[in-house]
Amino acid sequence: MNPFGEILVGVVMLIGLAGIVLPVLPGLVLMLAAVFVWALEESSAVAWGVFGLALLLAIAATVVKYLIPGRNLKEAGIPTSTLLMASLGAFVGFFAIPVVGAPIGFVVAIYLMEWRRVGRQQAWPATKTSAGQAALSIGIELAGGLLIFGIWFTAALTT
């Protein structure tokens, strides 16, 4: 692949990383697509090995980002309905307040749902727990994305 093509792949991967942190774009999917295009252009065993490893890492990160926080939330007694409303709150917040609206909508929705469910005194601790687990989920996905980027970057430099 020519240097411009590799730079373009790298830029798409960086956009994918940004999409993980600010969930506007499907970050890992963008990164996998970029590695796939790179592997198609390179057409080497190493490139396809990198794509295979990136695919496995993306699948693992996606599974783990739901399993660990989900288990922690279940242990804390946070119901699924609260999380569904939090997701809806994040969606509405994203459009109501550009850029920062999604996390604000997420937290406000959790607080309101938990206030209704357990009362004012326990609503804030439940909100902090839920928000912390959402951050953990993003961190897990980001770690997977950074590993994918690092593996691709190393392979791109050495091939």
pLDDT tens-digit profile of 105-114? 999 999 999 9
Q: How far apart are CA 74 and CA 81, in angstroms?
A: 12
What 68-71 contacts at long range (C-beta under 8 Å, 24+ apart), as own/partner pairs, is 68/136, 68/137, 68/140, 69/133, 69/134, 69/136, 69/137, 69/140
pLDDT tens digits, one per residue of 42-72:
999 999 999 999 999 999 999 999 999 888 8
Closest CA to 149 of 22, 41, 42, 20: 20
What the block records as the tokens of 6 is 């590799």
Q: How far apart are CA 130 and CA 132, in angstroms?
A: 5
Q: How far apart are CA 3 and CA 108, in angstroms?
A: 46
Question: Which pTM does this prediction carry?
Answer: 0.84
Say which residue, 5 or 148, is predicted with more confidence: 148
